[in-house]
Amino acid sequence: MGTRRKSRELVLQMLFQADMGKQTVDHVQRTFWAEHGGTSAEVRGFAEDLFRVATDRGTEIDKLIERHAEHWRMERMAAVDRNLLRAGVAEFLAYPDTPRAVVINESLEIARKFSSLESVQFVNGVLDSVAKELGKTA
């Protein structure tokens, strides 16, 4: 597994921990890295950056997701899907030079690992729609 994929999986786990545990960003970072101490600096750096963007711009990201997830409110989405979408949109915003297709494909691979087949289709549709909107404004 590549370093970016590993980072993306860790971001999903951190966002999930913050979301489900109602924990602060600082608490999540402190406890998460205490359990993942053997993570390389490169993997950790990218993961921390995406986590920071996803949490700092959380309101903006959630609004973007809800606008493109027809008939779905954030709190009604499966927690894994919701946080995978947050991570993907955070990467769109923080790393506009990364091809959006790469971000989407990586998100789909992670969804296949941590979620359901229906979730893969849902994540694909929402991220593709958000990417198209961001492409118009970029």
Give all domains of the chain, ordered by start, each with its CATH number: 3-137 (1.10.940.10)
Residue reference for tokens 């971001």: 11
What's this model's pTM, rounded to 2 decimal places?
A: 0.94
Q: What percent of the chain has pLDDT over 90?
A: 90
Amino acid at 53: V
pLDDT digits (tens, 9 = 90+) for 96-107: 999 999 999 999
Q: What is the pLDDT of residue 6?
A: 96
Q: What is the pLDDT of residue 138?
A: 46
Closest CA to 44 of 89, 14, 24: 14
CA dist., res. 58 & res. 51, Å (int):
10
Q: What is the pLDDT of residue 137?
A: 53
CA dist., res. 130 & res. 102, Å (int):
14
